[in-house]
Structure 1
Amino acid sequence: MSKDMPRHHLTETAETVLNRRYYLKDEQGRPIENWETLCRRVANAVAVVDQDLDDYERIRDEFFKMIYDLDFLPNSPCLMNAGTDLGQLSACFVLPVEDSMDGIFTSIRNGALVHKTGGGTGYSFSRLRPKNSAVRSTQGVASGPLSFAAVFDAATETIKQGGKRRGANMGVLRVDHPDILDFISAKEDQEKYTNFNFSVAITDQFMRAVKEDQEYSLVDPSNGNVVRSLRALDVFNKIIDLAWHNGEPGVLFIDAANRDNATPQLGDFEATNPCGEQWLLPYESCNLGSINLGQFVVDGKVNYKRLGKTVHLAVRFLDNVIDCNRFPIPEIAEMTQKTRKVGLGIMGLHDMLIQLKLPYGTEEGRTCSADVMSFIRKEAELASIRLAEIKGPFPAYDAEENTYPPRRNAALTSIQPTGTVSMIADCASGCEPYFSIVMEKNVMDGDRLLMVNKHFETVAKREGFYSTELLENVARDGSVIDNEDIPEQWQEIFRTAQDISPEKHIRMQGILQQNGVDSSISKTINLPSSATLEDVRTSYLLGYELACKGLTVYRDGSRDHQVLNTTASKDEKSAVVSSTGVVRKTTLPDMLSAKRYRLKDVNENTIYLIVCFDDNENPMEVFAKFPFDNRVDLKDKSTMWTTTCRLVSLALRYQIPMEEIIKQLDRSSGHMLDLPAQLGKLLKSFMAGTHHGFASVCPECKGKLVFEEGCEICHDCGYSKCS
């Protein structure tokens, strides 16, 4: 590190993520750079655009310092590829899918080229004629959008197996397409279209029909003919039902997006990028970057002066990226340079609110957030106007068509997922609240490590309520709410994502959308596992009312193979204990699926363990089967195994936390091949997801995946399913 640089300031988690994903490596896979040299590489590559200008060296050094100090971080492709032979720096692309075999497979080819360079793609399948409609050229019938989406999915599966970032797609179908019902239910089987997020493009006309309980028309896009009509409420209910079951499809409010289209003369928006925050025209791309708001609070106030300077510098950085970018195909280069869209976003919103002592879910928290976002948008436009004076406005700017002043960029702001880069910056991702305050991480040899939110640790020590026991309790409960050792004021300030009501999540998204976001917002509306279909309906209707341009809801535990949290959520606890104080035992159906596991005891006797699962693949009963049931010398062992299995089954049905069951089994074990040890090991494997029990596990580090910003993210290693 240079002599004039401050001491290393990254967390251990940040270094892990950087080593795994971002640092350049030699032929043996060993990192050949550190945080300083990475930042130099990125800053130098992006500043080179201005090398003929008088302020080149100043801009280059300010780019470096802004990134190195974690005030602003560009999107992952920029951090990975700037200054390398690849040189593709954008994260978001939308590609057209034309209604012809040539058009479809051209799009598949182009998508593969985008994925190869680390980008994600959005596709609208709305132009494709519906299944079973006539195809004149072959005298046959069309197979429909979903059949081709499967081909796109297979291509992505092949391409993603190399490189640092997975290929990810957004698949969009208009609500008035004749195949909409099939599309809505397409991901009911979660083994299909695994490389896609699916969203329905919902129109204002459809929403009016829902509210008035009217029918609406389905239109064949190939000829404009009305095929048939459907009751809008039935279709809306189907979307709600599937979203309740597993979070898909999402909804995109396409008319709201097109009302803010800065270049309508070039066409209409049809699709977004994979996480939904970037509405783009066909062949457009967008490079993204996020300001870390937690860095701009001083003495309990937002330092607007320094924030404004960072906004201006970040806009210049992102605009430069367009000119130094190596685009995957010429059509993308042409369209991107024509509109020069950038996506300046935020991360660390919750960090800022915590430091300002404002709870995320309150009106005061939302108002403050909106004020900051509005300020960022205003300063970003001023920066873009000044750049236009120096370098000219974006080429598609039309003084007669456009009502705003000449500026360098057709769009300026969005709020994108920052799951991985926010781990580098050690802050909350995007505009999301923290998912947890104290998180348990499993490390080598089965050891546990408690990862404590830096703000919570500071406050708890300063206010005098910090203790190891407290951290253990918060990690176990998954929440600070109703913890008597934590003052009520701080309980409210440290509410996490699942402690905040869906309505308050949506109201935060809505107020940010209306106050400073050009494009859209990637945010997850967290619902408790006990949420009803009516809760999902209310969420969608409120999101539409608040002018959101898209919405993703996620009901806790609704995805197959979701990792069981350390303990039940607050809502789940209330489902376990009745109003009379009596704990309810889970009622099981007459038929359960089961898996059999063959084991050996200490003396190499074969024992079979049979585990029965509920519909969500949670283990509910355990049985032992012995070939030696009739052997007198082993009768006591058989009785002991049977009794232990019955007790574990009872604990499972009474929803005793899995960790507690495993802990007791481990304490009872005298040998690794004893029954308690065998059962404990098996139950641990379910929690880790290795037997498809309980659910999603990071494919890279085997950590727990959580659902944030419309995507599954691993907070241990930075893996993201969407990027």
Structure 2
Amino acid sequence: MIILEEPQKSLYVNNRLLEKRYLRTDVLGETNETPDDMFRRIANIFSSAEEGQISRNSHVVNHDSYYNLLASLDFLPNSPTLLNAGTENGQLASCYVLPIDDSVNGIGDALKQTMLIHKSGGSTGFNLSSIRPAQDKVGGRDRVAGGPIGLLNLLSVTADYIKQGGVRRGCNTALLNLDHPDIVEFIGAKRDPGRLTNLYTTVSIKDNFMDRVTSGSELPLVNPRNGQTTATVSACDIFDLIVDQAWRTGDPGLTFIDTVNKNNPIPHLGKIEYMSGCGEEALLPFESCILGSINLVNMLKKELDGTFSIDWQHLSQTIPLSVRFLDTAIDLNHYPILQSELISRRTRKIGLGVMGFADMLIRLGVPYNSDKALGIAEAIMSFVQDIAHETSHKLALDRGPFPAYQGSVYEFEGITMRNASVTSIAPTGSISLIAGVSSGIEPLFGTVFVRNMLDGEKLLEVNPFFERVAREQGFFSFALLERLVSKNRLDQIEGVPDSVKKIFVTAHGVSPEWHVKIQAAFQKYTDNAVSKTVNFPREASRDDIAKVFALAYQQSLKGITVYRDQSRSEQPLCTGEEGIRLVHQRYEYRHECL
């Protein structure tokens, strides 16, 4: 068994990210806020809101409780809350979805709303299925429609023009129903890797499509303008096109929309047809959601023998406070669009998730691709789900249920709830970096890799726990780091003990089936959706992609995203020659490989 001592956390990447994106600046652009100031700013506004609640009991969360929750990194909310809480902006939600009417006015309204959301720091999701196909008749004799692909280009330009919260490009998700006449063009919209780089595309798939693929039958394509069938195509051919394009660039992903709606807690408000930024939230038109994640690494305790175990008591104390934080954020949020405020306050959806799962497993000495990891995933998320629901129920008794409660699944079950949905697994790209832990529920991308930061800066990341074990067991060297930053496959490196290889398994060393199994384990106890990417090595085949798509459907996932290494020219986490240079720059200067 590997016994890991707690390494000293490096704040280099964390502080750099905070300074570039989150900390307040003066009129000259100079940072005038520390991380501690940021957490106090957020705690101040949230504790003040708690004190202003009309409550049936005297319990409110004070400043110190919220400050300690954040400053300890036990829990972090989504980026807009870190950026905007306690400021004039005040927009706290990460996810918004917008409907687009098939008209000039409808498209114009959606573009304006997108700009307002991006300016405030939010991301947007769209379903383009109501847009008539390209070259379809519009008004007069000689006028034809630009179709969903033309609209994709408009959305991309809008996102490029407006930085998200003033610090980064806007993030969009575009979804199209599989029976749209322009589905083939949509599937291939990102064939050129230099186009639509700020848009994630996903195809909305119904159960009968997967049945058609299995049986080899035809799929009718229907014009949304008049409901008429324009053509029939082979379901297998469409599936193969999706697989091929996902193999080439990672887009599109799949959204299993029937599964999404089977788990819709508020069906009386309509079917869900929209997915948020990274696929973690299925939302109604104009609906938004505020996300936050519990740091699982901090939910461990060290035993007398030096090993780690899950601190269930600490976790049970962190969950209720996190739920209260997110629920309070709904009332504090400055919504950029009135329609979003009305529907979001009516359903009061929040998304409490987790981050640092892979790092937690490493400390526990459990391989990511193991039955024991599946058991831990289910145990953790079922625990989070139960206590989060219990907290939402208590808040409903205290503050009242969400306004759309009557007619909901919860009313039918006789359970009073403050929030229509409570849990969701987000990718946590930025906040996991602030916390210094692995992203969401993903495996480690690598033990040594290069992170492409803002403004083109590249930073070397060496997993601190791996470095400590490598030093203690005597196999830490320049040569090892060079091979790892070039190859990113610890399991293929000679001289590393098998026990270490098993515990520090990285994304490309985890089979696609295990990626899906872990996602399914978390989805089983998650109200909304789970954002996760199935990472493939560069040599993966199209058949490998197809098998994962089929398995995701069989496992009742709400969506699936894949990415084959180096299938895009620029990716946020990478390996290569630049990594070797950074390895020498860091370790030669500090003389640490001697």
Determine if the TM-score, normalized by the shorter chain, exceeds 0.5.
yes
What's the counterpart of residue 251 of structure 1? 254
Q: How does 1:75-224 map to 2 (within 5 A)?
A: 75-136=78-139, 140-160=143-163, 163-224=166-227
Go from structure 1 to structure 2 and tell me whether the alpha carbon gap of 1:353 and 1:281 turns closer, same or farther (over 3 Å shift): same
C-alpha contact 2:118 2:164 (8 A) present in aligned 1: no
1:329 aligns with 2:337: yes
Q: Which amino acid aligns with 2:425?
A: I
CA change 1:485–1:59 in 2 (3 A) is farther
Q: Distance in 2 between matches of 1:467 and 1:222?
A: 64
| Cα deviation, residue 564, structure 1 | 11
Secondary structure of the corresponding residue to residue 410 of structure 1: coil
Partner of 1:588: none
CA contact (8 A) 2:449 2:579 kept: no
Secondary structure at the aligned position of 1:430 is classed as coil
Contact 2:449 2:574 in 1 (8 A): no
Please tell me whether residue 493 in structure 1 is matched to residue 496 in structure 2. Answer: no
CA contact (8 A) 1:118 1:166 kept: no
SS of 1:170 mapped into structure 2 = strand
Looking at structure 2, the residues matched to 224 and 84 of structure 1 have their Cα atoms a distance apart, in angstroms, of 48
User: For 1:366-414, what per-residue CA distance to the aligned partner results, in whole angstroms no more than 9, with x for missing partners?
Assistant: 2211210111111110010000000011000115754341100001111
Q: How many residues align?
A: 563
- Give the TM-score of the pair, scaled to structure 1: 0.74
Structure 2 length-normalised TM: 0.89
Q: Distance in 2 between matches of 1:448 and 1:105?
A: 38
Q: 1:45 aligned to 2:45?
A: yes
1:260 deviates by 0.9
**Do the aligned partners of 2:523 and 2:529 also contact (CA within 8 Å) in 1?**
yes
The whole-number CA distance in structure 2 between the counterparts of 1:486 and 1:161 is: 43
SS at match of 1:200: strand
Q: Whole-Å Cα distance in 1 between the matches of residues 322 and 11 of structure 2?
A: 24
What residue is the counterpart of 2:388 in the other structure? 380
Instruction: Note if contact 1:275-1:522 (Cα within 8 Å) is conserved in structure 2.
Output: yes
Post-superposition offset of 1:162:
7.6
Whether 2:12 is the aligned partner of 1:12: answer yes
Give the aligned residue type for 1:159: I
For residue 678 of structure 1, what is the aligned residue in structure 2? none
Q: Secondary structure at the match of 2:264?
A: coil
Q: Give the 3 Å change call, closer, same or farther, for CA 287–362 of structure 1 in structure 2.
A: same
More moved, 373-382 vs 128-137: 128-137
Cα distance, 1:278–1:493 mapped onto 2, change above 3 Å: same
Q: Kindly state the Cα deviation for residue 59 of structure 1 after the two structures are TM-superposed.
A: 3.3
Change over 3 Å in CA distance of 1:159–1:11 after alignment to 2: same
Residue-by-residue CA offset, 1:533-562 (whole Å, 9 max, x unaligned): 111110100111111111111111211356
**Offset at residue 468 of structure 1 (A):** 5.7
Residue 659 of structure 1 and its aligned partner are, at CA, apart by 8.4
**Which residue in 2 is equivalent to 1:364?**
372
Per-residue CA deviations over 1:150-170 (Å, capped at 9, x if unaligned) read: 222222221128811321111
SS at match of 1:227: strand
Give the Cα–Cα distance (whole angstroms) in 2 for the partners of residues 659 and 64 of structure 1: 37
User: What SS does the corresponding residue of 2:520 show, helix, strand or coil?
Assistant: helix
Measure the CA separation in 2 of the matches of 1:104 and 1:450.
43
Q: CA deviation at 1:454?
A: 2.1
How far apart, CA to CA, are the structure 1 residues paired with 2:37 and 2:289?
A: 25
Correspondence for 2:421 = 411
Partner of 1:711: none
Letter in 2 for 1:394: F
In structure 2, the partner of 1:435 is 445
Does the 8 Å contact 2:47/2:61 carry over to 1? no
| C-alpha distance in 2 between matches for 1:105 and 1:119 | 19
CA 55–473 in structure 1, closer or farther in 2 if over 3 Å, else same? farther
* Residue 269 in structure 1 maps to residue 272 in structure 2: yes
With over 3 angstroms needed to count, the CA separation of the structure-2 counterparts of 1:139 and 1:452, relative to structure 1, is closer
Give the conservation status (yes or no) of the 8 Å contact 1:88–1:327: yes
Higher RCO, 1 vs 2 (CA within 8 Å, ≥6 residues apart): 2
The CA distance in 2 between the partners of 1:512 and 1:441, in whole Å, is 27
Deviations 1:653-687 (A, max 9, x none): xxxx7989x99xx9xxxxxxxxxxxxxxxxxxxxx
Does the 8 Å contact 2:120/2:165 carry over to 1? no
Write out per-residue CA displacement over residues 489-516 of structure 1, whole angstroms, 9 at most, x where no aligned residue.
Answer: 12101011111111111111122112x1
Residue 194 to residue 468, structure 1, CA distance change in 2 (3 Å): closer
- In structure 2, the CA distance between the partners of 1:9 and 1:466, relative to structure 1 (3 Å rule), is closer
**Structure 1 stretch displaced more, 217-226 or 414-423:** 217-226
CA separation of 1:201 and 1:449: change in aligned 2, threshold 3 A: closer
1:448, 1:345 → 2: CA distance?
28
CA distance in 2, matches of 1:10, 1:340: 37
Q: Distance in 1 between matches of 2:564 and 2:394?
A: 45
* Separation of aligned partners in 2, 1:474 and 1:536: 25
For residue 557 of structure 2, what is the aligned residue in structure 1? 548
Q: In the alignment, residue 16 of structure 2 is paired with which amino acid?
A: T
Q: CA offsets per residue over residues 74-110 of structure 1, 9 Å max, x none?
A: 0000000000000000010000011222111111111
Q: Deviations over 1:606-638 (max 9, x none)?
A: xxxxxxxxxxxxxxxxxxxxxxxxxxxxxxxxx
2:516 is the counterpart of 1:506? yes
Distance, in Å, in 2 between the alignment partners of 1:80 and 1:207 is 42
- How far does residue 451 in structure 1 lie from its aligned partner after superposition? 3.8
Residue 436 of structure 1: how far off its partner (Å): 1.6
Distance 1:32 1:244 in 2: 45
Match of 1:302 in 2: 310
Q: Residue by residue, what CA displacement relative to the aligned partner does 1:2-44 show, whole Å, maximum 9, x if unpaired?
A: xxxxxx9761211111111111011222211112111011111
Q: Secondary structure at the match of 2:190?
A: helix
Tell me the equivalent position of 2:569: 560
Q: Residues 369 and 128 from structure 1, CA distance in 2 versus in 1: closer, same or farther, beyond 3 angstroms?
A: same
Matched, 1:339 2:342: no
Contact kept, 8 Å, 2:355 with 2:428, in 1: the verdict is: yes
**C-alpha distance 25-658 of structure 1, shift in aligned 2 (>3 A):** closer
Q: Hey, what's the Cα distance between the residues in 2 that align with 1:448 and 1:555? A: 21
User: For the aligned residues, what is the CA RMSD?
Assistant: 2.6
Identical pairs, percent: 40
AA in 1 matched with 2:393 = I
Contact 2:49 2:328 in 1 (8 A): yes
Tell me, yes or no, if the aligned pair for 2:356 and 2:439 is still in contact at 8 Å: yes
Distance 1:106 1:219 in 2: 25
Post-superposition CA distance 1:680-700 (Å, at most 9, x none): xxxxxxxxxxxxxxxxxxxxx
CA contact (8 A) 1:528 1:556 kept: yes
CA contact (8 A) 1:353 1:365 kept: yes
| Structure 1: stretches of 5+ with no match in the other structure | 1-7, 568-656, 667-723
1:112 and 1:563, CA in 2 relative to 1: closer, same or farther beyond 3 A? closer
> Aligned pair in 2 of structure 1 residues 539, 417: CA closer, same or farther (>3 Å)?
same
- Partners of 1:162 and 1:62 in 2: CA distance: 28
| Unaligned runs of at least 5 residues, structure 2 | 1-7, 585-594
**Distance in 2 between the 1:236 and 1:222 partners?**
25
- The one-letter amino acid of 2:321's match is L
Whole-angstrom CA distance in 1 between matches of 2:449 and 2:185: 40
Amino acid at match of 2:561: T
C-alpha distance in 2 between matches for 1:257 and 1:442: 33
